[in-house]
Each structure stands twice: as C-alpha cells, then as structure tokens.
Amino acid sequence: MTMDAWFKKFGDMVYYEVFGQRILVLGSRKRAHDLFDKRAENYSDRPPRFMLNELSGWNFHFGGFSYGKWWKQHRRAFHQHFNMNVVSKYQPIHIRESHAFLLRLLNSPSGEPNVWHNIRHYFSAIIMDITYGYKLKESNDPFIEITNVALHCFAQASLPGRFLVDSFPSLRYIPSWFPGANFKRLAKKWKAATSEMVERPFEFVKTELRDGKLNTSAVASMLEDSKDLPPEQREEQETVYKNSSGIAFAGGADTTSSSVYTFFLAMTRSPEIQKKAQEEIDLVVGKDRLPDFTDKESLPYVEAIIKECLRWQNVAPLAVPHMSVQDDIYDGYFIPKGTIILGNAWSILHNPANYVEPLQFIPERFLKDGVIDRDVMDPTAAAFGFGRRICPGRYLSNESMFAIVASVLAAFDILAPLDDEGNPILPACEMSNGGLSYPKPFRCIVKPRSKAAEELIRNSAETTMSYFI
C-alpha cells in the first residue's frame, strides 16, 4: 500500500491535504490508541460523506453519525442485543446455519461451488433470523439481492476521494441530467436499494406482530420495549430501532463474509495449515459429530487461524475515518479542528515489529506452548476500528466465524485445482479496492474428507432442510 510505504519513509504519522481537506493518517497502534482512546472526546466524530450518506441513503448508518446524543441512542439500542454477554444466546442459530452451509457446499453441482455466494447466504441467514426473525429459504431471496446492491454502494461510496462531491459538496445540487453527473444517477439507484434494505425487513416484523405471529427477534424485543411510550417518543424510538437493525443486517451480511472468504483462500494456498487444524479437531471433537461452541476453548489452532484471517487481509484497510472536534496539539504537532483522522489498520496489522513476516499467513504467531499467546497483539485491536467508534458487532462476528471455520475444517478438504500435469494451481492473493476489501474471485475444490464426513453433513443438517436451496 502507498501509505504503508509513506510510513516507512516519513514515520507513523502522515499529513496531507486534498482540495483543502486536512487528512492525518496514523500508522501505528500507539498513535491510534493515543488519539482514539486517550483523547476520545476530541477524536470520535465522523466527517460528512455526501455521496454515501446524503445521496446514496446511508444516513441511517449510525456508524457514520456525528458523535453525540443521537449516535449514543443508536449505539445503546444496538449494544443491548449484540454485546459480549448476549451473543452467546444466538449460538444455536450459528450452528444451525453452519450445518446448512455445509450441505449447500456438498450439494453443489461440481467440486468448485460458488463459495462467495454461499458465504453471503450463511451470514445473511444468521443476521436475518437474529435481527428480524426471518428465515432465508432460497439463495435468490429478495432480501439478499437488495442487500448486495446496497453493500456494493457502501464499498464504493465510502472510499475516500472516490467521488468529487465529497470534496466539493455543492456538486450534490446539480441535476442528474447534467453532463458529468453520472454519480447522481448512480446514487439514485443505490439509494433505492439501501432504503429497501432498511425498510422492508423492519416492516416484516411489524406485520408479524400485528398479525399475532410469534417473533422472538431483536427487533420484536425492541418494539415491545417501546409499545407503551407516548406516540412521539415511540416514533423516535422506532427510527432508532430501524436504523440499528438495518446496520446489524448490513454489517452482519457483509464484512465478516470477507474474512471467511479469506479463510477459504488461505486454506487453498496452505494445505499444511489446513491439515494441522483438522488434526486438532479430530483429536478434540472426533469424527462422529461436528464441532460446537463447547469445543471452542479446546481448539486454539482453529482460533489462531481465525485471528490470522482477520489480520492477514483485513476487511477495512483504512478503517472508518474519524474527525477532530476541536484544535489539538499532540506530541508537538498541531491538529486543526475538522481534520480527518485515519487509523491505517493495514499498517498496524502488518507491522514487522508486531508480526514477523507479516505478509505471510502464519497462525502459529498467535500460539505459545499450545495455547493462545496473549502477549501477541490481538488483530481486533485494529481490524474492527478504534476507540469509541469500534465496531459494536465484533462479538457476533467472532461467534459466526468460529461456527463456520470449525465446521468446514471438520467436514471438508479445501484444495487447489490441478493443471493438466496434476500440479496444484495456487490462487493469487488479490484483494478488491474500496472502503471494504474482499478477496478477488478464485478457484478452489471443496470435497468431503471422507464418506463418513459426507453422511455426517447430511445427518447434521436434517433439522434445517426446510431452509435449504
């Protein structure tokens, strides 16, 4: 990355301006901690992003709100249902959907299934059930299609400098037919999809409750909490709940999907790591059942693989921009009010001082004497953002990743395809550009480890056959 090269040349703080906008990029964990944690009151704001929020409809996304009361209301509502002490109650959903995922891979028409498509289905199914009590039954479910468009918008529109309107806000007033206003036409399409993504599942819950149907989702619980409020307060709370659930859906269906796709890429490239993880699972779990959450503490190598997936190719290389509220002086440097502050998660997670051979996929870096080494910096220190604006869905994300990674390793071999001479064709490690980063499509073979594993997959998924394609 260009900025990583700048840090090596100029140090771990780089300042520059784009069309008059001041930007400060932090390239070390210490700098990020000093500003985002120790001086959180001044560095927890967000810069305005006109293309993303105003034009493309992501103004519901409380992660982009200015730091203040309205943001805190949303964060509180979200935290109530996704904090570290609550997410364990969703474990049966994770296990059920991980088994469904295995069956979809098994039933693929060839040994090279559409892994990315199935991963997105897995995470969408989990978050739709938890958040809205909605069961996805088909791969082309309209909720998935809508979300795909909206999330593509987020990845593109959140990239700093991608659209001129973010640097010249007055451009948002020009008509869409004006020459060069293609961004307005694009935003209109994205806004329609974003609105549907937020509105339709929320209305699904309200309709179910009005019809007297049982719905035990997070949104149903939220609406129950507000039903006795005066109409004006209830309307405001419903807006908070709708926004909070919308971002739970969007984030849950997308960001962790990239990390799991990275897992498939890493296993395709590193069969020896895959084999070592499978040996651990066979020893702890055996071959007569699939792993569950009771096994988690006894599978440190699997946990190390998950940590390395978060670190090796992190989803948000530049995290989400912060902005300074007031003028400040830090370490002798003047930081003006309104400066955009970027925590460069990529550089932090690829710093050789923290991780030897940082470009290599090495799960062992997180282990010592067969257990997780707590002295090694956990990738969550940067992979989910920083300070008070750290991703509040990280606990649910970790649960989802364990369920799917452990299950896949127990049941399948992930192999590189072979050339005409029988040699493996290892996929390149290429990532997409954008505010969010994903592995570019690659080929891999996914096949059951044995006939017994195939039967185990089918038997484990029997209780969820009605959700499958």
The per-residue pLDDT for 468 is: 40
Q: Is 353 exposed, middle or buried (0-12, 13-18, 19+ CB in 10 A)?
A: exposed
The per-residue pLDDT for 3 is: 75
φ and ψ at residue 400, rounded to 5 degrees: -60, -45
Instruction: Please give the structure tokens belonging to residue 134.
Output: 């909605």
Residue with tokens 């005409």, as numbered in its chain: 420
The per-residue pLDDT for 226 is: 86
| Rounded distance between C-alpha atoms, residue 62 and residue 362, angstroms | 35
The per-residue pLDDT for 253 is: 66
How do the domains of the chain map onto residue ranges?
Answer: 2-467
CA dihedral 5, 7, 10, 13 (to 10 degrees): 150
Taking alpha carbons only, the member of 456, 466, 464 closest to residue 106 is 456
Taking alpha carbons only, the member of 319, 360, 325, 355 closest to residue 339 is 325
Query: Could you tell me if 293 and 96 are in contact, meaning their C-beta atoms sit under 8 angstroms apart?
Result: no
Per-residue pLDDT of the chain (469 residues; tens, 9 = 90+): 677 778 888 889 999 998 888 999 999 999 999 999 999 999 999 998 899 999 999 999 998 899 999 999 999 999 999 999 999 999 999 999 999 999 999 988 666 678 988 998 899 899 999 999 998 876 678 777 777 788 888 878 877 678 889 888 899 999 888 888 899 999 999 999 899 999 999 999 999 999 999 999 999 999 998 888 888 888 899 999 999 998 887 777 677 889 999 999 999 999 999 999 999 999 999 999 999 999 999 999 999 999 999 999 998 888 889 999 999 999 999 999 999 999 999 999 999 999 999 999 999 999 999 999 999 999 999 999 999 999 999 999 999 999 999 999 999 999 999 998 889 999 999 988 767 788 999 999 999 999 999 999 999 987 655 444 4
Work out the mean pLDDT of the chain and round it to a whole number: 90
Backbone CA torsion sign across 348, 45, 132, 54? negative
CATH classification of 2-467 is 1.10.630.10, yes or no? yes
| Rounded distance between C-alpha atoms, residue 461 and residue 122, angstroms | 14
| Rounded distance between C-alpha atoms, residue 119 and residue 251, angstroms | 14
